[in-house]
Amino acid sequence: MLDVKNVSFAYDELLVLKNVSFTIQKGQHVALVGASGCGKSTLLKIIYGLLHPQEGVLSFNGKKLLGPLFNLVPGEENMKYLSQEFELQSFRTVTENIGEYLSNFDPELKEGRVKELLEIVEMTDFASIKVEHLSGGQKQRVALAKALAKKPDLLLLDEPFGNIDNFRRSSLRRNLFRYLKRNKITSITATHDKTDILSFADETIVIQQGAILTQEKTLKLYKNPTNFYIASLFGEVNKIRLQTFFPEYNNGESVLIYPHELRINKNSTVRARVKKSYFQGSHFLIESVFANGIIFIENMHSFSENEEIGIEVSQELLVSRLQITSQ
């Protein structure tokens, strides 16, 4: 179990983290999300032991984490941190990089372990290639395999799929998180990608300007966002006044609604004017002018610019969201 209590950190006079506290259980996969510059990478570095907090205490599996001021070699032995810099040796092969910290006492065991890791990151065909000849995405996959090599108890991932092509990213994510679950490896993933969050994170920790806003089960957080900032981390979101759809709610309350929760109905008295239709593959994202602002709606078909459309939403959904945001 990872326990972080009242951690604060500053670069010179710039306060980056403010009284950060949370707990992560063994085997959990947790997404760490927030706007750029909110402190995600700094927090991972503190947990791993590359930075020392000005205040606060960290412990892992009941052992206090002392940090770089006390450890001769920065970094915790039973953890691995995958940074955005990869930290590979360019003039060595993929196999040599992955197996760098594995014991040479049993060559067959080491060879089998490296082969397993190559399959997980889908780099088997590049085993003998020197890292200097790889693309950025390929280097990222090698760095991930290297981080997994000694089966860490805690894996810290900083935007781990950012340089990887879309067609490769999906299968790699499935391979990785399936492996982590099978081996009961705890992970924290700092990410901006909602697929990393929704598909693979048991819980999500939200940071805003260096402070923890919430730690919640991912599905619950997505379905019941308590403010616009949290909802926007999952993609486009609309802030809508209830009275616009249901006149009986005349107290000025607003609720958060995702584009897919709105429906287009030509008979609706609530009207919007189309600004642009964006093809998203499985649907179109319709950007429309609505109530002196912009609203986004998902629909199976596109609409022409300036076309008027009718929109509707479930009253039950609006009221339930109002109850969440009013808490």
Question: Does residue 79 contact residue 152 with C-beta atoms inside 8 Å?
Answer: yes
Cross-strand bridge partners of residue 313: none
CB atoms within 10 A of CB 216: 17
**299 contact partners, CB below 8 Å, separation of at least 6:** 264, 283, 284, 286
Instruction: For residue 191, name the pLDDT band (cuts at 50, 70, 90).
Output: very high
Mean pLDDT of the chain: 92
User: What tens digit of pLDDT does each residue of 234-283 get?
Assistant: 999 999 888 888 888 777 788 899 999 999 999 999 999 999 999 999 99
Average pLDDT rounded to a whole number, residues 128-152: 93
Predicted confidence at residue 84, as pLDDT, reads 78
C-alpha to C-alpha distances, 29 to 20, 32, 109, 186, 272, nearest whole angstrom: 19, 10, 28, 6, 41
User: What tens digit of pLDDT does each residue of 92-113 get?
Assistant: 999 999 999 898 888 899 999 9
Predicted confidence at residue 250, as pLDDT, reads 76
Whether 327 has a pLDDT exceeding 60, the answer reads: no
For the chain, give the percent of residues with pLDDT over 70.
98
- The pTM of the full predicted model, rounded to 2 decimals, is 0.91
Q: Which two tokens stand for residue 65?
A: 């984490």
Whether 30 has a pLDDT exceeding 70, the answer reads: yes
Predicted confidence at residue 169, as pLDDT, reads 87
Predicted confidence at residue 262, as pLDDT, reads 95
Which class is domain 2-226? Answer: alpha beta
- Rounded to 10 deg, the angle between the 166-182 and 136-148 helix axes is 0
* Among 17, 33, 46, residue whose Cα is nearest residue 215: 33
Does domain 236-325 sit in CATH 2.40.50.140?
yes
Q: Where are the domains of the chain?
A: 2-226, 236-325
Whether 324 has a pLDDT exceeding 80, the answer reads: no
CA separation for the pair 298, 278 (Å, rounded) = 10
Residue 324 C-beta-side C-alpha neighbours within 13 Å: 20
